[in-house]
Amino acid sequence: MTRNKVEICGVDTSKLPVLKNEEMRELFKRMHEGDLEAREKLVNGNLRLVLSVIQRFNNRGEFVDDLFQVGCIGLMKSIDNFDLSQNVRFSTYAVPMIIGEIRRYLRDNNPIRVSRSLRDIAYKALQVREKLMGETAKEPTAEEIANVLGVPHEEVVFALDAIQDPVSLFEPIYNDGGDPIYVMDQLSDEKNRDSQWIEEIALKEGLRRLNEREKMIIRKRFFQGKTQMEVAEEIGISQAQVSRLEKAAIRQMNKNIQV
């Protein structure tokens, strides 16, 4: 079977080696004895792990080469810290470390700048969260994390919120084969409760020509500021149907206004 050649950072990914468990154990033993060549073979033999991880971040708009290099740093850290005496597969240990390295890179390069002190609290909170989950096998509360760190509960919540990646209002969250539903369709807006938006595009005339269901959807969405999900629950149809009817009604109103 032939593989398509894909180069990332000058590496032909179709030719990356795959190491067996026995080879891995032998190379780790040699590396711990100071064999640098064994370490290099371990890195090269596990680059496919990095490739599999960076696929999870394809929608972030980052250069693949950059993510690959950052992922390789996580891989090397996991190789240097892996304990052979633990009954754990290397991939099980390495993948979370590679993901963590990439997430730190994305947070540090977030266009919305977050202060170093706030990031430090957030990273410590994430470490405490992982530790508590390992001890209790359940998701800890922000209050529990704050108690361990010895900081106010509000600081933990604020710090964790600050490092979250921003989401575009035009990011699709659902698509049933028709019109996609975007993040902005899930938001209500107090500004839509007044008549300014209506007056600007002369909706009164457009509304008059809609059928009763279309009128009801437009009123609930743009007069009452309700989300598509709320409208769907009230009138007993799916959110996708509300989205299609809303877009069709607006198109019809625009057409009527232009006539």
> Per this entry, what is the length of the chain?
259
CA distance 15 to 101: 25
**Whether pLDDT at 219 is above 50:** yes
**35-78: pLDDT as tens digits:** 899 999 999 889 888 888 888 887 666 778 888 888 899 999 99
- CA angle (63 as vertex; 126, 92 as ends), nearest 5: 45
Query: Does the pTM of the predicted model rise above 0.75?
Result: no
Domains with residue ranges and CATH for the chain: 1-109 (1.20.120.1810), 112-166 (1.10.10.10), 172-258 (1.10.10.10)
Burial 177-216 (b: 16+ CB within 10 A, else e): eebebbeebeeeeeebeeeeebeeeebeebbeebeeebee
**141-174: pLDDT as tens digits:** 888 998 999 988 888 887 777 666 555 555 555 5
